[in-house]
C-alpha cells in the first residue's frame, strides 16, 4: 500500500485494506437475479479502439458474460447510434443489449451527450414499465453520464445503485497531456453527485479507491476494489508464438517491434512512443534496418481534432519509414498483434487500470508503461515489464534500448508476463462484483426495515 493511500485511510480511521476487497456474502443474503447495466456513451457492441470505444467496452462485455455464467442476468442499456439497430440484441445467453433512442444517431460527440440524458432516461423507464415490479434487482452504471441515469432509475425502482467511474475528471485534469482539453466543471459536479448517491463504488485498484476518497470525499465503506480481468482463452500464448504471428501480419522475423495499441489521443500519448523511437535511432542508427513500429487504433476524443497528427509527427521526426499505421482490429486479430510484438508500449498520462497491458502480457508479451493509475498493478515492474516515471521520450528510448541490446529479454519477460496475467481472470472479477451487488442489496433491505420500524 502506498503512503498516500495509507494516509487517506488513516484520516478516516481505517486502512485501504479494509475496503480493498468486496465483503464476503452474509449467510442468507440474496444475490441479484437481474441487473440493469448502463453504458450511455458507448455500446458493448462497438469495436474497441474506435471513437469512444475502448477498455470500458471490453470490461462491460466480459463482466456481463461472466455474471450471466454465474446466474445473474444482465441487460445493458446503451444509446442507439444507427437507425438500423434492432431494439434489443442478445450479446450472449443471459446478456441482452437494449438500444435507446436519445438524440441524433450519428455526429453526436460525447461532450454533447449530457443534453440527451433526459431522453435516454425516458427510454430506460419505458423499458422498465413493460415489466412486473421488481424486475431489476440492481443498477450498475459505468462512467459519469450513465451514473446520472442510474441515480434516477435506482431511486424510482427502489433498488441499489452500484457505480464504476472508469475515469475521473479531477484525476485526468491533474495529468493533462500537452494539447489536451481539460474535462469541464459540469463533469466534476456530476461525478461528485454520483459518488454521494451511489450505494457502492467499484474501483479498479487501491490507488483509484484512494483517488475517490481524496478527490470526491467518497465514504470508504462504500468503496470496493475489484481488479478487471482478461479473457485468458482469447489472450494467451499459442504454438508458433511470435514467429507465426509475424508471418501472418507481414512483420520481419528478427525485427524489434514496439507496439502501440489503443485509441489515438493525447491522453494515451502515442506521440511519446514515436519520439522515443526517434531518440533511439539517433543513439543507434543501425537499428533502423531492424525496427518496425506498429500503431494499431483510430483517433478518439481530442485526437479527432487532428486525425492525421500522428502520421505528420512521424514524418517530422524522420521515422515514417519504420512506423506502420493500422486501423482498429477485432479482439482475435489484436491478440495476434500482441504476440507479434517485442514489447507493448503504454506511455499514457492516465489509466484507471490498463486492460491492454494485461491482454498483451497474457499473450506472452512484456510491457513498457508509464507508472500511472492502475498500470503499477497491471504490470509487475522488472518482471513482466518496465514501468517508467514520467513521460520523457528519452526514458522510454532507454527502456526500448534494453530490448534492442538483449534480444532474449523479450522472451524472458514475456514468460513472466504470461504467468502474471493468470491472476486477472474475468471469472474472479465477476464473482467479486457479484459480492459487491449482494452487499449493496443487503444494506438496502436493512435501510428499508429501519425506515419501516
Known binding-site positions for 1D-myo-inositol 3-phosphate: 41, 52-57, 110, 143, 167, 187
Phi-psi region of 139 (alpha: psi -120 to 50; beta: other; left: phi over 0): beta
Binding residues for Mg(2+): 338-339, 341, 365
* Residue 375: its H or E element: helix 375-378
Phi/psi at 23 (nearest 5 deg)? -65, 150
Angle, vertex CA 329, rays to CA 415 and CA 52, nearest 5: 105
Is there a contact between 335 and 364 (Cβ–Cβ < 8 Å)?
no
Residue that the C-alpha cell 467499484 belongs to: 202
DSSP 379-404: S-BTTTEEEESS--HHHHHHHHHHHH
As annotated, the binding site for UDP-N-acetyl-alpha-D-glucosamine includes 47-48, 55, 263, 268, 329, 351, 359
- Round to whole Å and give the CA distance between 377 and 370: 12
Q: Contact 270/300 with Cβ under 8 angstroms?
A: no
Q: Bridge-partner residues for 370, per DSSP?
A: 388
Dihedral sign of CA atoms 201, 206, 208, 212 in order: positive
**Residue 194 in grid coordinates:** 454520483
- Cβ of 52: how many Cβ atoms within 10 Å? 17
User: Rounded CA gap, 360 and 410, in Å?
Assistant: 12
Q: Give binding residues as ranges.
A: 41, 47-48, 52-57, 110, 143, 167, 187, 263, 268, 329, 338-339, 341, 351, 359, 365
In 3D, which of 382, 443, 374, 410 has the Cα closest to residue 206?
374
Distance (Å, whole) CA 17 – CA 19: 5
Give the number of other Cβ atoms within 10 Å of residue 6's Cβ.
14
Amino acid at each position: 500500500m502506498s503512503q498516500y493511500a495509507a494516509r487517506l485511510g488513516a484520516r478516516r480511521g481505517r486502512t485501504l485494506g479494509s475496503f480493498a476487497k468486496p465483503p464476503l456474502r452474509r449467510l442468507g443474503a440474496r444475490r441479484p437475479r437481474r441487473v440493469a447495466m448502463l453504458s450511455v456513451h458507448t455500446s458493448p457492441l462497438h469495436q474497441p479502439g474506435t471513437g469512444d470505444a475502448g477498455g470500458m467496452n471490453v470490461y462491460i462485455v466480459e463482466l456481463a458474460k461472466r455474471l450471466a455464467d454465474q446466474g445473474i442476468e444482465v441487460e445493458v442499456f446503451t444509446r442507439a447510434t444507427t437507425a438500423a439497430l434492432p431494439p434489443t440484441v442478445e450479446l450472449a445467453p443471459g446478456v441482452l443489449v437494449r438500444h435507446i433512442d436519445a438524440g441524433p444517431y450519428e455526429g453526436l460527440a460525447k461532450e454533447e451527450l449530457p443534453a440527451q440524458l433526459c431522453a435516454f432516461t425516458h427510454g430506460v423507464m419505458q423499458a422498465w414499465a413493460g415489466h412486473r415490479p421488481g424486475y431489476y434487482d440492481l443498477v450498475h452504471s459505468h462512467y459519469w453520464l450513465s451514473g446520472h441515469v442510474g441515480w434516477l432509475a435506482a431511486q424510482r425502482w427502489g433498488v441499489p445503485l452500484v457505480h464504476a467511474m472508469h475515469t475521473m475528471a479531477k484525476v485526468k485534469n491533474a495529468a493533462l497531456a500537452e494539447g489536451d482539453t481539460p474535462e469541464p466543471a459540469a463533469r466534476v459536479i456530476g461525478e461528485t453527485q454520483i459518488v454521494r448517491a451511489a450505494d457502492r463504488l467499484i474501483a479498479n485498484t487501491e490507488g483509484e479507491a484512494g483517488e475517490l476518497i481524496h478527490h470526491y470525499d467518497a465514504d470508504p465503506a462504500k468503496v470496493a476494489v475489484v481488479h478487471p480481468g482478461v479473457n485468458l482463452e482469447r489472450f494467451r500464448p499459442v504454438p508458433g508464438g511470435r514467429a507465426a504471428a509475424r508471418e501472418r501480419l507481414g512483420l520481419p522475423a528478427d525485427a524489434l517491434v514496439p507496439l502501440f495499441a489503443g485509441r489515438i489521443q493525447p491522453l494515451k500519448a502515442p506521440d511519446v512512443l514515436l519520439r522515443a523511437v526517434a531518440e533511439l535511432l539517433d543513439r543507434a542508427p543501425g537499428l533502423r534496418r531492424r525496427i518496425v513500429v506498429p500503431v494499431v487504433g483510430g483517433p478518439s476524443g481530442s485526437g479527432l481534432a487532428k486525425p492525421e497528427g500522428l502520421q505528420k509527427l512521424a514524418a517530422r521526426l524522420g521515422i515514417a519509414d519504420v512506423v506502420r499505421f493500422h486501423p482498429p482490429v477485432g479482439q482475435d486479430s489484436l491478440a495476434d498483434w500482441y504476440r507479434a510484438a517485442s514489447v507493448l508500449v503504454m506511455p499514457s498520462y492516465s489509466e484507471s487500470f490498463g486492460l491492454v497491458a494485461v491482454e498483451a502480457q497474457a499473450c506472452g508479451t512484456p510491457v513498457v508503461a508509464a507508472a500511472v493509475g492502475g498500470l503499477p498493478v497491471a504490470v509487475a515492474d522488472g518482471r513482466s515489464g518496465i514501468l517508467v516515471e514520467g513521460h520523457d521520450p528519452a526514458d522510454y528510448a532507454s527502456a526500448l534500448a534494453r530490448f534492442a541490446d538483449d534480444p532474449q529479454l523479450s522472451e524472458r519477460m514475456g514468460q513472466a508476463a504470461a504467468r502474471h496475467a493468470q491472476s486477472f481472470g474475468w471469472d474472479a472479477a465477476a464473482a467479486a462484483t457479484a459480492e459487491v451487488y449482494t452487499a449493496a442489496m443487503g444494506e438496502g433491505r436493512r435501510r428499508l426495515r429501519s425506515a419501516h420500524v
